[in-house]
Amino acid sequence: MQLKLNFRAAGLAVALAAAASLLAPHARAAGAQNSQSQKHNLTVDDYVRIKEVSDPQISPEAKWVAYTVETHDLKEDKNEERIWMVATAGGEAIPLTGENVSSSHPRWSPNGKYLAFLSAREEGKKQVWLLNRSGGEAQQLTDTIQDVDHFAWSPAGDRLVLVLQDPTPDEVEAGKHKDDDTKPKSKPRPWVIDRLLFKEDEAGYLDRRRTHLYVFDMASHKMTQITSGDYDDSAPAWSPDGRSIAFVSNRSEEPDRNFNDDIWVVSADNTDEGKSLVRVTTNPGTDVAPTWSPDGKWIAFASQLDPKLFQYATFHLGIAPSGGGEEKVLTRALDRNVSSPHFSSDGKRIYFIADDDGTQNLLRTSPAGGEIKRPIGGRLMLNSYSIAADGTVAAQIGTVERPDEVYLLPAGGDLRRITTTNDALMAQIRLPSVEYVHFKSKDGTTVAGYLYKPPDYTPGKQYPAILQPHGGPVGAYYAEFDFKPQLYAANGYVVLTPNPRGSSGYGEDFCKAIYADWGDKDFQDDMAMADYAVAQGIADPEKLGVGGHSYGAISTNFIVTQTTRFKAAISDAGEFLYATNWGHDEYVREWEIELGLPWENRALWEKLSPFNRVTKITTPTLIEGGDVDWNVPIINGEQMYESLKRLGVPTLLVVYPGEHHEFQRPSFIEDRFERNLAWFGHYVKGEGPAIPPQKTGN
Convert the pLDDT of each residue in 475-526 to its tens digit.
999 999 999 999 999 999 999 999 999 999 999 999 999 999 999 999 999 9
Helix axes 521-535, 551-562, angle to 10 degrees: 70
pLDDT over 70 (residue 317): yes
Cα 231 to Cα 209, 261, 301: the distances in Å are 9, 10, 20
Whole-angstrom Cα Rg for the chain: 26
pLDDT band for position 5 (cuts 50, 70, 90)? very low
CA 242 to chain centre: 30
> What's the pLDDT score for residue 29?
40
Question: What's the rounded mean pLDDT across residues 657-665?
Answer: 97
CB atoms closer than 10 angstroms to residue 316 = 24
Secondary structure class of 195 (helix, strand, coil): coil
3-state SS, residue 277: strand
What are the DSSP calls for 522-558, one per residue? HHHHHHHHHHHHHHTT-EEEEEEEEEEETHHHHHHHH
Mean residue pLDDT across the chain: 92
Fold of 432-685: Rossmann fold (3.40.50)
pTM for the model:
0.93
- Average the pLDDT over 275-293 and give the result: 95
Residue 419 · residue 93 · CB < 8 Å: yes
CA 546, 549, 553, 555 dihedral sign is negative
> 539 near 483, Cβ under 8 Å?
no
Q: What is the pLDDT of residues 226-276, one digit of tens each?
A: 999 999 999 999 999 999 999 999 999 999 999 999 999 999 997 777 778
Closest of 476, 469, 551 to residue 507, by C-alpha: 476
Does residue 18 have a pLDDT over 50? no
Q: Which residues pair with 117 in a beta bridge?
A: 129
**Residues facing 353 on adjacent strands:** 339, 362
Cis peptide bond upstream of 473, omega within 30: yes
Query: Residue range 173-188: average pLDDT?
Result: 75
Sheet holding 139-140, edge to edge: 103-108, 114-120, 126-132, 139-140
Least confident of 472-486, 565-579, 598-612, 683-697: 683-697
Q: What is the mean pLDDT of residues 20-35?
A: 39
Quote the Cα angle for 101-102-106, to 5°: 135
Report the DSSP beta bridge partners of residue 288: 302
- The whole-angstrom separation of Cα 548 and Cα 562 is 16
- Give buried/exposed letters for 59-76 (b at 16+ CB in 10 A, else e): beebbbbbbbbebbeeee
Q: Which pLDDT value is given to residue 36?
A: 55
Question: pLDDT tens digit string along 438-456?
Answer: 999 999 999 999 999 999 9
Q: Give 124's DSSP letter.
A: -
By the 10 Å C-beta count (0-12 exposed, 13-18 middle, 19+ buried), 190 is classed as: exposed
Beta strands in 109-261 (DSSP E): 114-120, 126-132, 139-140, 148-153, 159-165, 199-200, 204-205, 211-217, 223-225, 233-238, 244-249
User: What pLDDT score does 2 carry?
Assistant: 31
Q: Can you give the pLDDT at residue 169?
A: 87
CA–CA gap between residue 151 and residue 503 (Å, rounded) = 33
Residue 278 Cα distances to 106, 245, 306, 541, angstroms: 30, 10, 23, 61
Specify whether the CB–CB gap between 544 and 567 falls below 8 A.
yes
pLDDT at 182: 66
In contact, 287 and 248? CB cutoff 8 Å? yes
Break the chain into its structural domains and give their ranges: 432-685
Judge whether 134 and 142 are in contact, CB under 8 Å.
no
